[in-house]
Amino acid sequence: MILLYGKGQRFTMDLQLYYHKIIVSRIAKELGGADVARKYLGHCIYAVQIGYNDYLNNYFAEGYNSSKIYTPEQFAQLLVLTYEIQLEVSSLKNHSSKKLIC
C-alpha cells in the first residue's frame, strides 16, 4: 500500500508499519512498559484501507509492467498475499491489536 501525503509523497505499507512500530515503542515508554502498552493498544481499533493505490500506481499506470505479467485476478491475489504477510509480521498483530478492519 502506498499512502499519498502532501505533494505526491508516497509511503509504502512497510514504511507505515515501521512508523507504527516506532509510535508503539514511544507509547510503551510513556506508559511505563510494553505490557501496559499492549493492554492499552488492545482496546484500539485499526482501520487499514489497502489496494487502491497499488492498482493505480502499479497495475494500470504507464511505466509498470504488472499488467503484462499478471491478470487482474492474479495481481489481486498477489496484493492479498503481500498484505497478509505485512500485517502478520507487523506490530499491528504483535501488540494485541485485536480489532483490525481491512
Residue 98 pLDDT: 57
- The boundaries of the domain holding residue 30 are 2-101
Q: For the chain, what is the radius of gyration of the CA atoms?
A: 16
Name which residue leads in pLDDT, 28 or 16: 28
Count of structural domains within the chain: 1
Does this model's pTM top 0.95? My answer is no
pLDDT above 70 for 31: yes
The better pLDDT of the pair 23, 56 is held by 23
Residue with grid cell 499519498, as numbered in its chain = 4
Do residues 17 and 91 touch, judged by C-beta distance below 8 A?
yes
Query: Is the predicted pLDDT of residue 15 greater than 90, yes or no?
Result: no
Farthest CA pair distance, the chain: 52
Top-confidence residue, 4 or 53: 53
Rounded percentage of the chain residues whose pLDDT exceeds 90: 15
- Cβ neighbours, 10 Å, residue 62: 5
The CA distance from 95 to 38, in Å, is 5
Distance between CA 16 and CA 101 in Å, rounded?
A: 16
